[in-house]
Structure 1
Amino acid sequence: MAAAQDPLRVGVLGCADIAWRRTLPAMAACPDIEVAAVASRDEAKARRFAAAFGDPRVLGYEELLASRDIDAVYIPLPAMFHADWVAKALRAGKHVLAEKPLTGDAKSADELLALAESRGLVLLENVVFPHHSQHVRVRQMLADGAVGDLRDFTSVFTIPPLSDENMRYRPDIGGGALLDMGVYPIRAALYYLGPALEVLHAVLRVRARTGAVVSGRILACTPGGVTADLVFGMEHSYRTSCAFAGSSGLLRLDRAFTPPPSLQPVLHIERQDHREEITLPMDDQFGNIVRYFANAVLTGSNMLDQSAVSRRQARLIDDVERLAIRIEVP
């Protein structure tokens, strides 16, 4: 394994779009990380990735995991392939940064996190948005009474329809909209409302010919009665937002989940006789999370808090699946 003063040598297991557009550019810019190898079932694609990110070695999946000079693995494979390859990487002694969701169900998520803990390895689910400073600012404003006592939380992540061939429409590969988009508002609710959040009810729209969840709505609640209305899907206009309604005001954050590094987020605050917009600093959430991952590995940081959130998120997703009314759509 790399010494603390050396960069973390990362192998990339899969050449997904999110890796190309966001995570690998962030890794390439991070002085604590060296992209050391790339693996893909499509060798031409792997070589294209390698050429764009410093010409690391191009290896097969198993060869990459067996490489003794690879310290950690980034896994941007489709959701339903995560459990198998994350387990293989951990058993090979590699730290793992895995795209969200960590797995498709709570049981396998528990097993992977327990495996990582038993071997002293970092396993981090790549949920990026909590690492943007806009959310730290919003949480502090809520604690300072910006809207009074919080009553209701609303979060939305929806995108327009994709091509029929997109892997998100394959429940056995991409897992559908609940796992792909629903993770965001669920994680946001946990971030702002805490781990005691419980799912009360849900509606899932399911494509009849494939069985894929294409959208849904979740009603959840804290023990103190703060409600969470969580909307997700891939048959809508593009929306990524969080809103907080309190006893004395409303706070709204647009581009809650996908702000590019060049964007200055804007908070909207409304009270009875007051309207205000607060422009926040730009921030690079992907850069932040890859630095966080590298630091956790290189310093041996305790990951129990992050693991607990991933476990709770996975259980809430299981609860949605269990409680939801399913409506078939064309």
Structure 2
Amino acid sequence: MMALRFGILGTAGIARRRMLPALRAADGVEPVAVASRRLDTASGAADEFGLVAVEGYQALLDRDDIDAVYIPLPTGLHAQWIEAALAAGKHVLCEKALVPDLATAEKLVEQARAAGLLLMESFMFLHHSQHAAVRAMIADGVIGEPRVFTSAFGIPPRPDGDVRYAADLAGGALLDVGVYPIRAARLFLGPDLTVAGSVLRTDPKYGVDVAGSALLSTSDGFTAELSFGFEHAFRSMYALWGTKGRLSLPLAFTPPDDHVPVVRIEDENGVREVPLAADRQFVNIAAAFARTVREGGDFAAHGDDILAQAALVSAVRAPSLPD
């Protein structure tokens, strides 16, 4: 079967460091071209990976040798270029957060469905085998009945001029790092989640949120305690606390390909550590995207996932007040 031919809209760091190498390594994928607003910028990435350099994002979308695009642009530019890519008949893998609000997510999901195209939000961590291993442990009762999920993702302050601080490009901690703990909570607690409360701290210098916390809950009282921000020592973890013990996983969201995960389990018998296999989550998501397109996978499920995520993110930003 013919490989899925990819174009890349933008030369962001995550594209050059992680996704372009992954697209080259993934089964069923052929990266073809990379675009930037300036040809010299596109040429730098293209020369590094043996691709065609294209000046301008629309010029890449107009090519007939591209089946799908990967979009690593700032969040505030996602909607414009997702819409343009879908209009050009391209499947879309877009970096998180897909868009800043639920209404825009609904519009783009409807456009993708009407066109019969795959639109996927690139939560690459979901494609690392460590999380399936943890879920299997939970199902086996290693900590009893889960009661509380805790997760944090924080990074040190960024330098002035970093796009994460650009209010006009939908910057801010919630959309950059906060979406990871929210998506992880959904992975372990399921779809029955509402936002009980949240706090965001906005930096007046930048006009974007730089830190936040949220409390989510299911209808039966299973809670998720989430924290995130740009003014922290690095932390990327989640833990589950149950009736018989506690399980935690450090470096949950951004492990290097050669990282050997270690699950820490604490119970009445003491503490033990369980090593897991290293994995390549960027390669895995690229291959999964291509497989879904080429084998006629469930496009609708990805649309539903986008909407569920956007609804929770919107609720964390503006939680409803109690009656």
Instruction: From 46, 61, 66, give the equivalent of 2:62.
Output: 66
Q: CA contact under 8 A between 2:117 and 2:299: conserved in structure 1?
A: no
What does 1:1-330 align with in structure 2 at a 5 Å threshold? Answer: 5-323=1-319
**Distance apart, 1:174 and its partner CA:** 4.2
Of all paired residues, the percent bearing the same amino acid is 47
Deviates more, 1:15-24 or 1:26-35: 26-35
Counterparts of 1:274 and 1:323, CA distance in 2? 39
Q: CA contact under 8 A between 2:42 and 2:53: conserved in structure 1?
A: no
Q: TM-score, normalised by structure 1?
A: 0.95
1:328 maps to none
Q: CA contact under 8 A between 2:39 and 2:53: conserved in structure 1?
A: no
Counterparts of 1:258 and 1:55, CA distance in 2? 26
**Distance apart, 1:175 and its partner CA:** 2.2
**Distance apart, 1:298 and its partner CA:** 1.2
Q: CA contact under 8 A between 2:201 and 2:209: conserved in structure 1?
A: yes
**Distance apart, 1:324 and its partner CA:** 8.4
**Distance apart, 1:57 and its partner CA:** 3.7
**Distance apart, 1:135 and its partner CA:** 0.2
Counterparts of 1:139 and 1:305, CA distance in 2? 20
Deviates more, 1:232-241 or 1:31-40: 31-40
Counterparts of 2:196 and 2:160, CA distance in 1? 32
Counterparts of 1:295 and 1:178, CA distance in 2? 30
Q: TM-score, normalised by structure 2?
A: 0.97
Counterparts of 2:28 and 2:269, CA distance in 1? 49
Say what the alpha-carbon RMSD is for the aligned residues: 1.3
Aligned residues: 321
**Distance apart, 1:247 and its partner CA:** 0.5
For each residue in 1:77-120, what CA deviation from the matched residue of structure 2 results, as whole angstroms up to 9, or x when unmatched? 00010011000100110000101111110111111111111111
4+ runs of 1 displaced by more than 6 Å? none
For each residue in 1:168-199, what CA deviation from the matched residue of structure 2 results, as whole angstroms up to 9, or x when unmatched? 01121142110000000000000110111110
Counterparts of 1:271 and 1:39, CA distance in 2? 52
Counterparts of 1:225 and 1:309, CA distance in 2? 22
Q: CA contact under 8 A between 1:174 and 1:180: conserved in structure 2?
A: no
Counterparts of 1:111 and 1:148, CA distance in 2? 41
Instruction: Give unpaired runs (5+ residues) of structure 1.
Output: 326-330
Q: Quickly say closer, same or farther: Cα 1:324–1:241, change in 2 above 3 A.
A: farther
Q: Which residue type is aligned with residue 124 of structure 1?
A: M
For each residue in 1:33-84, what CA deviation from the matched residue of structure 2 results, as whole angstroms up to 9, or x when unmatched? 1111111013222111001111324242111111122111111100010011
Counterparts of 2:212 and 2:201, CA distance in 1? 6
Q: Which residue type is aligned with residue 315 of structure 1?
A: A
Q: CA contact under 8 A between 1:178 and 1:213: conserved in structure 2?
A: yes
Q: CA contact under 8 A between 1:202 and 1:324: conserved in structure 2?
A: no
**Distance apart, 1:271 and its partner CA:** 0.3
Secondary structure at 2:168 match in 1: coil
**Distance apart, 1:7 and its partner CA:** 1.2
Q: CA contact under 8 A between 2:34 and 2:51: conserved in structure 1?
A: no
Q: Which residue type is aligned with residue 34 of structure 1?
A: E
Counterparts of 1:37 and 1:236, CA distance in 2? 37
**Distance apart, 1:202 and its partner CA:** 0.6
Instruction: Give unpaired runs (5+ residues) of structure 2.
Output: none
Q: CA contact under 8 A between 2:86 and 2:117: conserved in structure 1?
A: yes
